[in-house]
Amino acid sequence: MKTPLKALYVVIFLISGAIGTIMLLSPVYAEELGASYMQLGMMGAYYAIGYTIMTLVTGLVMDRYEKVRIYLAFQTMNFISIGLLAFSNTIEQILVVRLIIGLTAGTFWVSSSAITAAMSKPHKLTHNISLYNLSWISGLAVGPLIGGYLSDAVGFKAMFLAMSVTVLLGVGIIVVFMLPTVKLHGKLGRLTIDWKSVRAVLPAYLCLFPYTLSSGIYFSILPGYLKEFGITASIIGLLFTIGNVAKGLGFFGVERLVNWGTKRAIRLVSFLLAVSLAWIGYANTEYVMALPLALYGVTNGLLEPILLNWIAQNSPAESRSFTMSIYETVFGVGMIIGPVAAGFVTNIYPASMVYVLLAAASLLIIPFSVGLD
């Protein structure tokens, strides 16, 4: 690999693919063990609790200490935590492991985006963040497809081990291609929080929150929801691959939409997001479900990088890791609330009602976008 930045993109591709695969297919494994909607929701909440805690911690640490060594330690923990799934035999054990994975995965996106930003020259920041986004969405596109076929062919436990080994490969790339040449020392010596920087990008966090409610359900409940229609793990993996490929295609429209105007772009995307969620609620076969999942993927691929880029551009360099970690923390909070609330809703209403309510919540992004430039 010619540059450490290219090595970083390969690491992001490998590890995001592994994390995304086990996030989407561990609920399918739990559903086979007899998990209820409430238990699937709790799986999502347990993951999100760990994720939320570690996003804040990671942002503070990455701003203050040498980033590559910390990154190596974090990804080693991801290797171990994902491997634990292969030894989980009950729903209760899966819940505990999902909490542990939340703690380790919560370090991944924050540290990856922070290192990408730290290794980028100012005029290359937007371009490199786009490549960062493309790297992890490519992993999410490939991972579930491979994981689904592995699950059907050799079983879930073997698939979980394969994903753990994939993370280990990423760890090896960090050791060989990044650790010897890249030194990214922190700019701040004390663990203090720059609240002024956080307030400056608050509108982006408000716009992100309604979307994160659906993201939590997408990773925790939707796979089990599809399983109830009799769809196999390999086809479920294919459906999520379709959605993630569409998300990757959405990234290519980001620059054009930003030039059109961030506020107008976010409002258009929120409307399309609402349409896709309501459509998911009324789709009941794999063929019909592919269409709203693709639309949902496109809207994700537009919304996330637009907001992340806006945060990066409006944050001072010395606090950028922390403000970007708050972005992931908002994800964590939404991923706690969404699955748990969905579990309660399905105790009273049909599961399709969850997606109708999410569609309504997505429209709140429109008034929240007032503060965006």
Question: H helices within the chain, ranges in order?
Answer: 4-32, 37-62, 67-84, 91-118, 125-154, 156-173, 195-200, 202-220, 222-227, 233-251, 254-260, 262-282, 286-313, 320-346, 352-362, 365-368
pLDDT of residue 190: 55
Ordered domains of the chain (ranges, CATH): 4-183+195-371 (1.20.1250.20)
Phi, psi of 295 (to 5 degrees): -65, -40
Query: What span, in angstroms and rounded, lies between the C-alpha atoms of 237 and 123?
Result: 38
Global pTM value: 0.79
Query: What span, in angstroms and rounded, lies between the C-alpha atoms of 299 and 321?
Result: 25
CA atoms within 13 Å, Cβ hemisphere of 191: 7
- What is the gyration radius of the CA atoms in the chain, in angstroms? 19
Question: Which residues lie closer than 8 Å to 8 by C-beta, 6 or more apart?
Answer: 112, 115, 116, 119, 178
Query: What span, in angstroms and rounded, lies between the C-alpha atoms of 144 and 129?
Result: 23
Query: What span, in angstroms and rounded, lies between the C-alpha atoms of 334 and 40?
Result: 15
Using alpha carbons, list the distances in angstroms from residue 116 to 124, 182, 191, 218: 10, 12, 22, 27
Provide the residue type at 51 as one letter.
Y
| Tokens matching residue 178 | 């990044």
pLDDT of residue 207: 94
CB environment 185-209: b (16+ within 10 A), e (fewer): ebeeeeeeebeebbebbebbbbbbb
Q: Is 283 helix (H, G, I), strand (E, B) or coil?
A: coil
Question: H helices within 252-319, ranges in order?
Answer: 254-260, 262-282, 286-313
User: How does pLDDT run along the chain (373 residues), one tens digit per residue?
Assistant: 568 889 999 999 999 999 999 998 999 999 899 988 888 888 888 998 998 889 878 877 877 777 888 899 999 999 999 999 999 999 999 999 999 999 999 899 888 988 888 888 877 877 787 788 889 889 988 999 899 999 999 999 999 999 999 999 999 999 999 887 877 665 655 555 667 788 888 999 999 999 999 988 887 788 888 888 888 888 888 898 899 889 888 877 777 787 788 889 999 999 999 999 999 988 877 778 899 999 999 999 899 888 988 887 887 776 777 787 788 888 888 988 988 888 888 888 888 899 999 999 999 999 999 988 7
Using alpha carbons, list the distances in angstroms from residue 287 to 147, 192, 291, 336, 356: 20, 51, 8, 30, 20
